Amino acid sequence: MEEIHWYALYVRMHHEKKTAEKFRALGIEHFLPVQEVIRQWSDRKKKMTIVVIPMLIFVHITEKQRIKILKEIPSVTGTLIDRSTRKPAIIRDSEMDRFMFMLDYSEESIYFSSEPMKPGEDVKVIKGPLNGLIGQLITTNGKTQVTVRLEQLGYAIVEMPVGFVQKLTSNEK
């Protein structure tokens, strides 16, 4: 039996939601990171669902299924490649679980950064809707933030009060 892994697939611009619907119809386990935000125009505010990482959708499938999807679904344009092995990047289950948890329970907007960051202190969120999330504590422009690293892509980042986190003990790492 072939192993099932998380892969990040590239999709055509503005086709993320339609591709997710297609995967749902085909019974393919997938994750499209979206969040609701309020956008302000000069005359009104509107609640919108936006894609956190444009042109990318995650699938939990076998290697054979990945190849089949690339051939049969026109909106899928490729697979994220691991630079060191030059093979399709496999995203760890634990990283995906933390990323999905962060998106599901965060009350703050999450943004994604692929720029290198200096490793910070490993922390565990102890209060609020993200209670139990493990990530790294960073400070950007005087704001405390918690990051969750997806090794092949970068970091998902959410702003958080410093009182909501505690340093991880050596046996929690």
Domains of the chain (ranges plus CATH)?
Answer: 5-79 (3.30.70.940), 93-167 (2.30.30)
What is each CA distance from 96 to 39, 41, 105, 140, in whole angstroms?
28, 34, 14, 24
Are the C-beta atoms of residues 20 and 30 closer than 8 Å to each other?
A: yes
From first to last of its 173 residues, the chain has per-residue pLDDT tens of 789 999 999 999 999 999 999 999 999 999 999 988 888 888 888 888 889 899 999 999 999 999 999 999 999 999 999 888 899 999 999 999 988 988 888 877 777 776 665 557 788 888 788 888 888 888 777 777 888 877 778 888 888 877 787 777 766 66
The confidence score (pLDDT) of residue 171 equals 66
Distance separating alpha carbons of residues 136 and 56, to the nearest angstrom: 24
Q: What is the pLDDT of residue 63?
A: 95
Q: What is the pLDDT of residue 172?
A: 65
Q: d(Cα 166, Cα 122) in Å, to the nearest integer? A: 9
Closest CA to 124 of 101, 143, 142, 141: 101
pLDDT at position 157, please? 83
pLDDT at residue 110, rounded to an integer: 77
Whole-model pTM: value is: 0.75
pLDDT at position 173, please?
60
| CB within 8 Å of 107: residues ≥ 6 apart | 128, 129
Note the pLDDT of residue 112.
74
